[in-house]
Amino acid sequence: MANSLGQLFRITTWGESHGGGVGVVVDGCPPRIKLSEADIQPDLDRRRPGQSSIVTPRKESDTVQILSGTFEGKTLGTPISMWVKNTDQRSEAYNEMAEKFRPSHADYTYQAKYGFRAWPGGGRTSARETIGRVAAGAIAKKILREKFGVEVLAYVSQVQHIKTDVDVNTVQFDDIESNIVRCPDQVIAQKMIRLIEKMRGEGNSVGGIVGCVARGVPAGWGEPVFDRLEADLAKAMLSLPATKGFEIGSGFAGTLMTGLEHNDAFRMKGGKVHTTTNLSGGIQGGISNGEPIYFRVAFKPVATVMHEQDTVSTKLKNTTLKGRGRHDPCVLPRAVPMVEAMTALVLLDHALRQKAQCG
């Protein structure tokens, strides 16, 4: 089921960039949860295009409609279907792409796999597919917050060479949302914005890193082997468009330490087991240990640039192609709610699995 994620809290996204709309079906949501469009729309507003000068100017309200699964403002326990209409397609900008593969896009690989592709806007490879993820993630975040006391926050920690050293343990939502790049460090944020604006002016793009922290996750969520919590998080993150890397806790920097330096020592505090450091990133042996879970996701520069590049045609002839249409010069500001959504979906699925198995 290549379009589905999760076991007990399961989502299936659907739709293409320039089709009638995009959406998601959520199966396994517990009943009697208060839910309306107002619970979902704020995260979609954070994801939508056209929200600032450093994202794609495509104008979409991304207004969500709940089609099923609720009654009198509460979830029924039956599948929840949500839909967002596409209203600002301009497929004519992609006419040339019907016969030419865009460099570093999925045009060629989709053609190789299916022998056919929806070329306007990239079809299902477009980031508009993530609308369904973010809508479902908003439900997962609400349940995690209200039923389990878990908070999930993501933020832009690096744009190309510009990065912040903000403490992941103290980062707050209001600081993240206080600027258009969604970096909680206000001074660094302005430098990031200037770099992205420069890239846009040059018809180029830039990548970077989104950091994420989940606070309040109790010890015991996750599985010991193939469904390790960090493995499911990694899969969820790397399924997002433009992602190229995932590291949790100390990540690759841990390779420079000795075991004595890297080990998180255990101590009792307030009647509970804690670690004095958290280089494990809140997960050990594939199972949460009660400390904050934190990780980083690397996003590549947007593949569409407004310059002539070498490519190949659908007739397998060498040619060139210049990027057209409306695109983000940097995906990071809009990727923040996507990372939060995928984190919440994985965590809630494991929370329900833990409850089903161990009570």
Burial of 20 (0-12, 13-18, 19+ CB in 10 A): exposed
Give the pLDDT confidence of 132-184 residue by residue, as tens digits. 999 999 999 999 999 999 999 999 999 999 999 999 999 999 999 999 999 99
Contact 55, 26 (CB under 8 A): no
Give the pLDDT confidence of 7-55 residue by residue, as tens digits. 999 999 999 888 889 999 999 999 999 999 999 999 999 998 878 889 8
Residue 94: predicted pLDDT = 67
Contact 168, 211 (CB under 8 A): yes
* CA 15 to chain CA centroid, nearest Å: 17
At 202, which amino acid appears? Answer: E
In the chain, where the domains are located: 4-358
Helix (H, G, I), strand (E, B) or coil at 96: helix
Stretch 299-325: mean pLDDT, rounded?
89
Using the Cα atoms of residue 67, residue 73, residue 75 and residue 78 in order, give the sign of their dihedral.
Answer: negative
- What does the alpha-carbon distance between residue 227 and residue 244 come to, in Å, rounded to a whole number? 21
pTM attached to this predicted model: 0.95
- Considering the four listed CATH numbers 3.65.10.10, 3.60.20.10, 3.30.720.110, 3.60.150.10, the one that applies to the domain covering 4-358 is 3.60.150.10
Helix (H, G, I), strand (E, B) or coil at 42: helix
Give one DSSP letter per residue of 238-249, joined into a string: HTSTTEEEEEET
pLDDT > 90? residue 93: no
Residue 218: what are its φ and ψ, rounded to 5°?
-75, 165
